[in-house]
Structure 1
Amino acid sequence: MALLDSVQDFLFLKVIHRQRYMTKANINIQMLTWARERSGIPMPEFARKCGVTIERLQAWEVGELPITFRQAMQFAAKAHVPFGYLFLTEPPEETLPIPDLRTVEGQGVTRPSAELLDLIKLMLQRQEWYRDYLKQHFAEPNPYVGRLSAADIVADMRTQLGVGDHPERGKWDDYYRDLTQRIEALGVLVMRQNNLGHHTRPLRVEEFRGFAIVDDYAPIVFVNHGDALGARLFTLIHELCHIWIGQSGISDGNANTHRQQEVLCNAVAAEFLVPKREFSSFWQHDLAHWQDNLPMLEAHFHVSTWALARRALTLNFISQAQYGRYIAEQQALYKMRERSGTPTYFQTKKAQISQRFSKAVVSEALSGQLMLREASALLGGVKPNKMERFAKELGI
């Protein structure tokens, strides 16, 4: 009899489960259109993700066809919004939690993408966890946040990082990796990636190049790796300057900005990477093409031609139009270039997430001080059963 009761209970629950997912979802259909448009995914691709035709998708959004609970839940998942949002009477007001310093035609960008909003939310979660972790281990506040006024920043940054005016040897990407490690050694978490967990959610350079989130214990700088390789070095120092002056903000790298913080951080990054006096002594104004200066300067300063072109612009050696054309060409070349050799999953994670942060999370998880599920979320989806493998990649 007990076995029969168990079978009947199972069948009853199965029927209820099926009815739940076949029942019409009494959602606000206007929220369907809002969620899809918020995702930034074109309608044909969104329909394919939901496994339906464009016609059915359109019929859902205008209320001509009912949508079931199961379909609505899948719709929300593909749009990257909480399922409960579909029941709201009107879209929630979504604002950036840190200052928006980007500029488009002299004005701020008012509508951030879902990827940018979700990315900053993830960074704030990581920052909150790491701040608590440091306090539990009796760490002192970071002494580099809001450290100095503008006049002394470049010299102080070089002193604290232990670097000279520029590298004496090596390639610029070696310098980028070295600076990242030195910045992390100061307790500043460096995060960098080019998508939000999957290539279908790219971080668009047109929207932002980087941001900084100031905190007394766990300051973060983020570099958008969807950007051309040479641009990342400039962004790294630009965002570090934000930490030094103690001001959070999202940046788009606009050389034409009039925002005070951005003008300052641009100037600091330019002087840090390419000192004005030395650069000016090497620049040849009589060349037929200004770009012919770049190979020699690259060999001397060991920084990217992108950074060199930016320096030439700040010194008025080239015009804004010349700079803009050159950067557009570099960006196009980067997008066309196919990279050889795909890094492993764990190598990618190691490169994307601050190693200081990753080591703290993994160590706490493996010691039982942090739930594996929470560690997985903080690390952007590293599965609990793969935590030990990631620990080996990190050298723990």
Structure 2
Amino acid sequence: MSKSVPAKIQPSLLVWARETAGYSLEDAASKLHVSVDRLHAAESGTAMLTFHQLQLVAGVFKRPLALFFLSAPPPREASTHDFRLDREVAHHPPAPSVNIELRRARQRRDEALTLAREIEAVVPTFEAQASLHEDTESVAARVTQLLQVTDEQSRIWKTPEIAFKARKSAVESQGVLVFEASRVPTEQMRGAAIFFDQLPVIILNGADAPAGRSFTLMHELTHLLLRQGGICDLAPSEDITPDARIERFCNAVAAAVLMPANKILAMLGDRGARDWTLDELGLLAKPFCVSREAMLVRLITLGHASQRQYIALRSQFREEYQLFKLSQRQDGGGGPSPAVMAVKNLGRPFVRLVLDAYENDRIDLSTVSDYLGVKIRHLPRIRELAAGSMAEA
């Protein structure tokens, strides 16, 4: 088909696709390599994009091409509450990459429910709950019991990566879909939760360090216990707004789950409140596979460190995190295989549902490939990873 053939579509579909992706007119025009006037004319119906330009639109806004030939825009997706507190992003709309990941997560959950019905699998109801009026230590104790991670299991975790995978598997065993986003700046989102009675969703930022993902996982699980969803950056805040109060609650529960008070206090012995060196924080954090920053925040909660020291070290923690991200980008190893990335980003429960549907002749190989976002040649390895131990992917 010639690149100059006009695409005869409803202009309102262009507006709908751009706005639901979160692009301004100017940013969208830049992404599509057209002038702002040209895109505005197409959206207002005074001009038409070419078919080639429409293909670019579908790619940038992450929508199926066929959708643009509907007679009217579909209903807009439900909005997700924004709990981000960092002053650089608070009160600004989420980036398009965040909106697209939220949309994908909802779509994958819908697909999971459809596949479960196809193979007559039982979909559990997420019944665990919590209230902001509860003591965070008590909520954390219930979460620990819910996840059934024993002291014996946690003692064999040698690295934060292994610990994160075990914790993720424990959360997934409660009927939660845990997805990891691979192309979202951590400044825009550390995590998100989307609550449903069945198959609630947690989204983690896959670019985050394993220890960071463990903390975010428990933070977002707490949001689900509160029967709510939202986008989070886990930024510390002393604000008195309702959102800040909820975020502090979720952070406190997450910290208490990952760093139980009795274990911390046993390690501290008779050492009282004081300033801690970074090496000391590292030694305390290591058995729990958490970051030094998380450990310092926990010590503050337990009355063994000061908010003053945290404020003094906050910029250093940020600098170290930026160095970690830089080292990840400079790693010349080529990165994980498509099979590993598929299982990491989609989670074992979703992958297993897709594979079970195929093995029960409910979907074909082409559909499996579409669901998992990989070529068919990667399926044998995905099958191994989905069936293997949590340490493999």
With the shorter chain as reference, the TM-score category is 0.7 to 0.9
Instruction: Say which of 151, 154, 159 aligns to 1:167.
Output: 154
Which secondary structure does the structure 2 equivalent of 1:235 belong to?
helix
Pairwise CA distance, 1:323: 4.6
1:46 CA drift (Å): 7.7
What residue number does 1:222 align with? 203
Look up the match of 1:189.
Answer: 177
Structure 1 residue 310: Cα displacement: 3.3
**Could you say which residue in structure 2 is the equivalent of 1:395?**
387
User: Is 2:125 aligned against 1:142?
Assistant: yes
Where does residue 306 of structure 2 map in the other structure?
A: 317
Contact kept, 8 Å, 1:207 with 1:252, in 2: the verdict is yes
Instruction: State the distance in 1 between where 2:306 and 2:375 align.
Output: 51
Distance 2:254 2:277 in 1: 22
> How big is the shift at 1:97?
2.9
Aligned counterparts of 2:366 and 2:387: Cα–Cα separation in 1: 22
Report the TM-score when normalising by structure 1. Answer: 0.74
Question: Out of 274, 282, 299, which is 1:295 matched to?
Answer: 282
SS at match of 2:340: helix
SS of 1:321's equivalent? helix
Q: CA deviation at 1:124?
A: 1.1
Residue 7 of structure 1 aligns with which residue?
A: none
Partner of 2:246: 261
Q: CA deviation at 1:22?
A: 3.5
Please give the alpha-carbon distance, in whole angstroms, between the structure 1 residues aligned to 2:9 and 2:126: 53
TM-score normalized by the length of structure 2: 0.74
Counterpart for residue 339 of structure 1: 331
One-letter code of the match for 1:116? V
Task: Give the aligned residue type for 2:125.
Answer: N
Does the CA contact (< 8 Å) of 2:4 and 2:51 recur in 1? Answer: yes
Distance verdict in 2 for CA 1:318–1:164, change over 3 Å: farther
Q: Which residue of structure 2 lines up, in the alignment, with residue 233 of structure 1?
A: 214
In the TM superposition, residue 99 of structure 1 has moved relative to its aligned partner by 2.6
Instruction: Note the alpha carbon deviations across 1:166-212, whole angstroms, 9 max, x for none.
Output: 933522222111111222222222211322xxxxxxx1211211112
Count the aligned residue pairs.
363
Residues 146 and 98 of structure 1, relative CA distance in 2, 3 Å threshold: farther
Instruction: Report the CA distance shift for 1:129/1:255 in structure 2 as closer, same or farther (over 3 A).
Output: same
Matched, 1:246 2:227: yes
SS in 2 for 1:22: coil
- For residue 391 of structure 2, what is the aligned residue in structure 1? none
Larger radius of gyration: 1
> Counterparts of 2:76 and 2:277 in 1: how far apart (Å)?
44
Gaps of 5+ in 2: 42-46, 389-393
User: What does residue 370 of structure 1 align with?
Assistant: 363
Unaligned runs of 5+ in 1: 1-16, 196-202
1:317 is displaced (CA, Å) by: 2.2
The 1:249/1:107 distance shift into structure 2, 3 A limit, reads same
Residues 266-285 of structure 1 aligned to structure 2 (within 5 Å): 266-276=251-261, 278-279=263-264, 282=268
Note closer, same or farther for the CA distance 1:87–1:352 as it changes in structure 2 (3 Å cut).
closer
SS at match of 2:214: helix
Q: Deviation string for 1:123-173 (max 9, x for gaps)?
A: 112222323444563626335443677433211221222235793352222
Q: Matches of 2:380 and 2:148 in 1, distance apart?
A: 34
Indicate conservation of the 8 Å contact 2:7/2:54, yes or no: no
Aligned to 1:200: none
Q: Is the 8 A contact 2:124 2:175 kept in 1?
A: no
Q: Is 2:342 the partner of 1:349?
A: yes
Distance 1:71 1:244 in 2: 46
- The Cα offsets for residues 317-342 of structure 1, whole Å up to 9 and x where unpaired, read as 24353353133112211122133632
Output one character per residue of 1:8-27: Cα deviation in whole Å (capped at 9) or x when no partner.
xxxxxxxxx54x84348798
Q: Which amino acid aligns with 2:306?
A: F
**Root mean square deviation of aligned Cα:** 4.2
Q: Determine helix, strand or coil for the equivalent of 1:167.
A: helix
Question: Residue 115 of structure 2 contacts residue 357 of structure 2 at CA under 8 Å; is this kept in 1?
Answer: no
